Chain A
């Protein structure tokens, strides 16, 4: 049998990690990415990566990291993979260190660590406030090394459209679109690994990059892959509201001592720095004395929401609160947080070393994603997934600095597992489904290009984003979720009348976007319907009408399957692996 061919889709941390493991094992990989892989969204991660190395003499352990992650995720994550990830974390940090990641150092030349949300330990290794960038580059460099040696072929500027499935439903390759020549073609593979990241674009404005549309995951869902826990969407408490996107202001700002507050008096007219301590309301510290500003993100986000919308204490009546670093000396700020301070300075115009930042929560991350087993294998034979695109690690809420870890861990598992699967794969019946899939995609393309309708895809997208942000983020009501679902059905209907103002066949970005949009609409229904059905509050999913966690009914993984007959998702629920830590109530406001 000839050497197995593996295709990796997505060149962020998860994809590159998978590529490296396969190349190291002697395999050859075709790596597909919309953008040059060095420009992938992992580059935006800021604060750091968790590993219980206990270099601060606090008695931190892998078990505590495991427990914090499971508790932080409100017990919805399967525990075995979380335990294994946290156990591997210290060696992953060492590896990144050996790859040359410029992690911050202590005086003795060891790795420095800082605290992050949802833990009481300094467990987060960091490279300034651009840790994701530094990690992505380190993996990109290793992949370039394998590329130069002929083990990796990059297909940058190609967008995944669909999997090629044979008559038995086994994956035999992918269909992809060249974003320059607009050529659509299929590529053979014995296994594929989907590392296509987040879905922020479904919410219009988010902290995500432009390519994070969830289009690939949605296309696979429509081909039969199960999508799990889609309703769990992380809204990051501290973002800079912007005209075009919400820019993340890392949790590391609070990890280094940043404090969140509003004036106690809603009519306060003084400038922030002249307001005396007694007139400031440090609400996270008052409400959560043990964790203070470093409560998990879902807790901090709801607290800010409450301060602004229930207590009416938003700054100047606007939906914003202060994130204050001005009490920390400039030298420390520059050494540990410069990257994010520069972002604030460039996009807002104020220096956060002198003036408290004004921030508000924004859509940031999906805990849900493609369902995978403990080997990162989806329910479709030959399709693996890793990183934000899979659902496996974070349960109902992700802890800060666990995402970079889960991406690398997932890629490191998916790569060798895909290779082992591919080695034992029998030959495809017929052409493996290539001709049929190519024809299906070419027909879709032709229909879209010649569509005579009147709808502008960018306008439809804006309406989708508005409805998703309004009904499916911080606070959820069943009536609102039903309204959102009806709106998405309307948008799917109007999509049939979509008309591209650009019908050319060269570097046509509106064409690629229109294809993504249809997939976004389908995945949006998975999110809102999953949220509608889950009548409880757990982690990031919060319903005031059902304020408590309901384990007997909902300590379950949501599994959405596309039903082609109804053109809608169908839902089922699966048991969660809670074999290692018995579920307990989640209370960050406790003082002990």
Chain B
């Protein structure tokens, strides 16, 4: 391994400013990840040319790939900065600088931080919750076989990183597509014994503008998901359910 890591970061001071690239040379240590590279810059905010600059703004919190904060483009690929190791990148592209850029499908806040609030709004639209009667003691929930739990659990591992939306060719201003994460959450709650009471509402919400029919089956989402959610399967099953719901509604409403 080299003693110095070269990093190129696409920076932008405000949402309206033009983007620019800054280069950094950072002393290498074994087991560094991208967030620790960014931490090194904060400790010593000087570019490779020796010019003083500002620490990089980026989102991060847990640093163990469970909070979903630190998604960004690393060497052009959407991934989590905390779980992307410098050693891995050096093997991918030996002797090339590491390139960091913000996710491209979301408004830039500053540098590598983007605004991903759209996902949380989408989760409201599909009512991604169980409408419990109340928090008082009503006894245990319905019995659930391990098979049901094992099917639901992977969907419940979605960390809202929005990488599935970033890599989706259909996720753009023209289609208003909600993206794979929201569809997977709709499916999760449709599978819940009590949550399924809202199944029709969810399917109708996904049948409208920007809904599930916008999916082009590129399957980039399932390739890129850091938590390996069964996204393509969820879209296809929920798509079928939504179509059946539309047919039913056609004759009964």
The contact of B61 among A39, A95, A335, by CB within 8 Å, is A39
CB interface residues, A 292-339, toward B, < 8 Å: 335, 339
Tell me which residues across on chain A come within 8 A of B85, comparing CB atoms.
347
Indicate with 1 or 0, residue by residue over A494-520, a CB within 8 angstroms of chain B CB atoms. 000000011010111110000000000
Q: Which chain A residue lies CB-closest to B60?
A: A210
Q: Are B31 and A343 in contact (CB under 8 A)?
A: no
Contact check, A44 vs B42: say whether CB atoms are below 8 A apart: no
Q: Find out whether the CB atom of A209 lies under 8 angstroms from the CB atom of B145.
A: no
B45 is an interface residue with CB less than 8 A from chain A: yes
CA–CA, A343 and B80, complex, Å: 13
Please report the total number of B residues contacting A with Cβ < 8 Å.
72
Q: Which 4 A-B pairs have the closest CB atoms?
A: A109-B143, A502-B54, A141-B129, A507-B110
CB of A459 within 8 A of chain B?
yes
In the complex with contacts A24-B134, A105-B146, A148-B67 CB distance below 8 A: no
Q: Is the CB of A39 within 8 A of B68?
A: yes
A133 at interface, CB cutoff 8 A: yes
* Interface residue A244 (Cβ < 8 Å from any Cβ of B): yes
A104–B120 Cα distance when bound, in Å, is: 27
Q: Report A-chain residues with C-beta under 8 Å of the C-beta of B113.
A: 507
Residues of A that sit less than 8 Å from B by CB? 20-21, 24, 35-36, 38-41, 43-44, 91, 94-95, 97-100, 102-111, 127-128, 130, 133-134, 137-138, 141-142, 144-145, 147-148, 180, 209-211, 242-245, 247-248, 335, 339, 343, 346-347, 412, 456, 458-459, 462, 501-502, 504, 506-510
Contact indicator A94/B29 (Cβ below 8 Å): no
Given A21-B135, A100-B194; A39-B67 close (CB under 8 Å): yes
Query: Looking at the complex, which one of B13, B33, B66, B120 makes contact with A130 (CB distance below 8 Å)?
Result: B66
Among B143, B189, B195, chain A packs the most CB atoms within 10 A around the CB of B143
Mask: chain B, 59-79; 1 = CB below 8 Å from A; 0 = not:
111111111110000000000
> B130 near A98 (CB under 8 angstroms)?
yes
A-chain residues with CB within 8 Å of residue B159 when the two chains form the complex? 43, 133
At the interface, yes or no: B128 with Cβ under 8 Å from chain A?
A: yes
| Centre residue among B66, B110, B139 by max chain A CB count within 10 A | B66
The verdict on A44 contacting B64 (CB below 8 Å), with A94-B141, A462-B43 known, is yes
Across the interface, B64 reaches (CB within 8 A) one of A40, A104, A111, A343, namely A343
Minimum CB–CB distance from B26 to chain A (whole Å) comes to: 12
Q: How far is the CA of A413 from the CA of B65 in the complex (A)?
A: 32
B57 within 8 A of A: yes
Q: Point out the residue from A105, A111, A243 that lies within 8 Å of B33, measured CB to CB.
A: A243
Q: Which residues of A contact B160 (CB under 8 A)?
A: 36, 38-39
> 20 A–B contact pairs at CB < 8 A?
A36-B160, A94-B137, A94-B140, A95-B137, A100-B189, A103-B149, A105-B145, A105-B149, A133-B66, A141-B130, A142-B129, A210-B63, A245-B63, A245-B64, A343-B66, A346-B83, A501-B52, A502-B54, A507-B57, A507-B111
Does B109 lie within 8 Å of A102, measured CB to CB?
no
Q: Interface of chain B, helix or strand or loop or mixed? A: loop
In B104-144, which residues have CB < 8 Å from any A CB? 109-111, 113, 117, 120, 123-124, 127-132, 134-135, 137-141, 143-144
Q: How far is the CB of A159 from chain B (nearest CB, A)?
A: 13
Instruction: A339 to B153: give the CA distance in the assembly, Å.
Output: 11
| A109-B144 CB under 8 A given contacts A41-B62, A141-B130 | yes
Q: Which residues of B contact A128 (CB under 8 A)?
A: 153
Given A35-B61, A39-B68, A43-B62, A510 and B123 touching (CB < 8 A)? no
Question: Per-residue 0/1 for B183-206: is the Cβ within 8 Å of any A Cβ (1 yes, 0 no)?
Answer: 000000100101100000000000
B112 smallest CB distance to A (angstroms) = 11
Max chain A Cβ within 10 angstroms of own Cβ: one of B29, B61, B150: B61
A38 close to B68 (CB less than 8 A): yes
Q: Determine whether the beta carbon of B135 is less than 8 Å from that of A100.
A: no
Query: Does B152 have its Cβ within 8 Å of any Cβ on chain A?
Result: yes
Chain B residues near A41 (CB-CB < 8 A): 61-62, 67
Assess whether B35 is interfacial by the CB under 8 Å rule.
yes
Known: A38-B120, A94-B140, A458-B42. A209 touches B63 (CB 8 A): yes
Q: Is B45's CB under 8 angstroms from A44's CB?
A: no
Identify which of B36, B59, B140 gathers the most chain A CB atoms within 10 Å of its CB: B140
- Contact for B124 among A43, A144, A180, CB less than 8 A: A144
| Contact between chains at A94 and B139 (CB < 8 Å) | yes
Complex Cα distance A106/B152, Å?
A: 15
Question: Quick check: is B14 within 8 A (CB to CB) of the other chain?
Answer: yes
Q: Does B55 contact A (CB under 8 A)?
A: yes
